[in-house]
Structure 1
Amino acid sequence: MAEQWQRRRQILTALSHHQGFISGEALATQLGVSRMTISNHIDALEALGVEIFSVKGKGYKLQKPVPLMDATELLKGIQSRCFYFDEIDSTNSFMMKHANELNSGDICIAEHQSAGRGRRGRNWVSPYGSHFYGSVFWNFPQGMAQAMGLSLVVGCSLVTALEALGVSGLAVKWPNDVYLNGKKLAGILVEMSGQADGECQIVIGVGVNFVMPSNSGEQIDQPWCDLTNVDIPSKTAFAIAFHQQLVSDLKVFESQGLKPFLSRWQQTDLYKDQEIRLEMADNHVEGICRGIDEQGGILLELDGEVKSYVGGEISVRT
């Protein structure tokens, strides 16, 4: 299996370095394999969401770049333990399964998730190599209550790391999304196990769109964006910078709670001072968004009174 992935990465590297089409025969010669081997690996990559133009008599060409991680640079740059895979069912699931063996700050990163998950059980579209998929483990000794509002901290960490790499136009959407120019760029999924009043183990899953293939974008049922037109060093550089920022922020959050992050959230709140609708199961409320409180609840002003809500999904009031 490792040899298969090495070969597929070699094919993607060759395609990335070639300006136009490159024939299957030329690829086979370059990699020292048969023409059939190239064809089989191309088919496998397409099944994983990579879009490759195939024209008879001309060969192959990538529709869009595939920003693979530099494994050596990644493992060198991450100070905690880093588990890196070409393919996995879910980075969150991997970390949850091994929670008893992990230390705070350990991270799992994959190029493809066969069963990636978003909030409320939604599918997270995970084309191979195109985006960032990662999960960080953290242990909270004082229980689940200590982790209230955690997804908001992660949103702040994402914005800080991306801005440091030159990305502008970012905003946070309560409780677990980051937007770029008004469209969803990244999502956060926090899962936990443990006791309400005892030690609590947390896995923080993050997905960031880097270069969305067209066929994958068509599967998403909301406005999205990616970093295609943003000049950042590399996906590897982002992974290292984000991990460093998140670990730093989690240490502050663990000792001081959400209070130090309130102003950071307020500065980039997507719906700040806008009229919004908060959907809660079979109920909903409408009011003006006034930020968040120290428990991570969203503050809504209704008839001149500000109230806090800890669950639900928000949208612009229409």
Structure 2
Amino acid sequence: MSEKRLAQSVPTPFELIPIIDSTNQYLLDKQESLESGSVCISEYQAKGRGRRGRQWVSPFGSNLYLSMYWRLEAGMAAAMGLSLVVGVAIVEALQELGIEGVKLKWPNDLYYRDKKLAGILVEMSGQAGGAANLVIGMGMNLNMSEQVTGIDQPWTSLSEVVDTPFSRNDLVVAFIKAWQAALEDYELRGLHGFVERWNQHDNFLGREVKLIMGQREIKGIVRGIDATGAVLLETERGIESYVGGEISLRKASD
């Protein structure tokens, strides 16, 4: 990536750090001095992490590691569903670049042909009654080698999605602009307006899946998300909603 070219196109403070422990952690450590919308981009993460503290495999120069700091004045309670909003923004940004077929997996992944392309991690801090300090991170596979180990699920790279070469700089600029627009919209209207857009891109809409919650497993057909960001599952008991940080959604056959 070209720092000079990005500086001419990115409408927000950013740092391009070739090697870093974690782009999310870097912004979390600096949040008191950051302007809302500040971005950190890296070529390699030594300690990349995903949801529930899992390791995010982050080989050098193969992928995109991008994090943004955002101050949400409405507070921590208003941040529910933020990964859904960012997911919609990413898919729509890719579409504007002519990249079609990328789908969303509740609550924070992007898929292509049932394989994981990217993951979103939202981390926050703050106090009751005050603003929430959010760090939104994304790791997207761009040109990852098939020789990479340590990944326990089917995955793909953006190079498998598109037939022609793509610009990493263009991707970064598109994502930053899309995130900013989505977050500003979210601050004004919450999830209203994002639910239908999410459901249009839901990878598992109308398909049978299983939800894993600790030792409990529930099978049903995905019917999208509701106004709170909960996933809707049609079971023999009817349509039920599920939301929470310890739920894993998988194909019924997995």
Question: Which consecutive residues of structure 2, in runs of 5 or more, have no partner in the other structure?
Answer: none
Residue 113, structure 1, aligned to residue 45, structure 2: yes
Which structure would you say has the larger Rg? Answer: 1
Which position in structure 1 is the counterpart of 2:184?
Answer: 251
* 1:236 alignment partner, SS class: helix
Q: For the Cα contact (< 8 Å) 1:165–1:232, is it kept in 2?
A: no
Contact kept in structure 1, 2:74 and 2:187, CA below 8 Å: no
| Count of equivalent residues | 249
Deviations 1:194-217 (A, max 9, x none): 02432110000101110002332x
Post-superposition shift, 1:284? 2.1
Amino acid paired to 2:183: L
2:31 to 89, 99, 114: 99
Aligned equivalent of 1:240: 173
AA aligned to 2:91 is V
RCO (CA 8 Å, sep 6+): is it higher in 1 or 2?
Answer: 2
What CA deviation, in whole Å up to 9, does each residue of 1:218-244 have, x standing for no partner? 321111110224225301110001100
2:124 maps to 192
1:227 to 143, 158, 164: 158
Structure 2: distance between partners of 1:232 and 1:297? 37
**What's the CA shift for 1:164?**
1.3
Q: Secondary structure at the match of 1:136?
A: strand
TM-score (normalised: structure 2): 0.94
Structure 1's unaligned 5+ residue stretches are 1-68
Q: Hey, which bits of structure 1, 4+ residues long, moved more than 3 A?
A: none
Query: Contact 1:299 / 1:307 at 8 angstroms: preserved in 2?
Result: yes
Q: Aligned ranges for residues 103-142 of structure 1 at < 5 Å?
A: 103-142=35-74
The aligned counterpart of 1:88 is 20
**Residue from 257, 262, 266 that aligns with 2:195:** 262
Return the alpha-carbon distance in structure 2 between the equivalents of residues 144 and 297 of structure 1: 17
1:280 corresponds to 2:213: yes
Matches of 1:155 and 1:146 in 2, distance apart? 17
| Kept in 2: contact 1:167–1:232 (CA 8 A) | no
Which one-letter code corresponds to 1:263 in the other structure? E
Q: Deviations over 1:30-83 (max 9, x none)?
A: xxxxxxxxxxxxxxxxxxxxxxxxxxxxxxxxxxxxxxx111111221111001
Alpha-carbon shift at residue 304 of structure 1 (Å): 5.0
Shift of 1:263: 1.1
Which of the two has greater helix per residue?
1
Cα offset for 1:131?
0.7
2-side partners of 1:82 and 1:147: how far apart? 23
Cα gap change, 1:304/1:283 in structure 2, threshold over 3 Å: closer, same or farther? closer
Aligned counterpart, 1:175 = 107
Alignment of 1:205-224 (within 5 A): 205-216=137-148, 218-224=149-155
Query: Residue 250 of structure 2 corresponds to which residue in structure 1?
Result: 315
Which structure carries more strand by proportion? 2
Deviation, structure 1 residue 126:
1.0
Residue 101 (structure 2) pairs with residue 166 (structure 1): no
CA drift of 1:287 comes to 1.6
CA distance, structure 1, for counterparts of residue 75 and residue 165 of structure 2:
38
Q: What SS is found at the alignment partner of 1:166?
A: coil
Please show how residues 5-84 of structure 1 align to structure 2 within 5 Å: 69-84=1-16
AA at the equivalent of 1:250 = L
RMSD over aligned CA atoms reads 1.2
Q: Distance in 2 between matches of 1:96 and 1:284?
A: 34
Aligned counterparts of 2:216 and 2:14: Cα–Cα separation in 1: 42
Paired letter, 1:282: Q
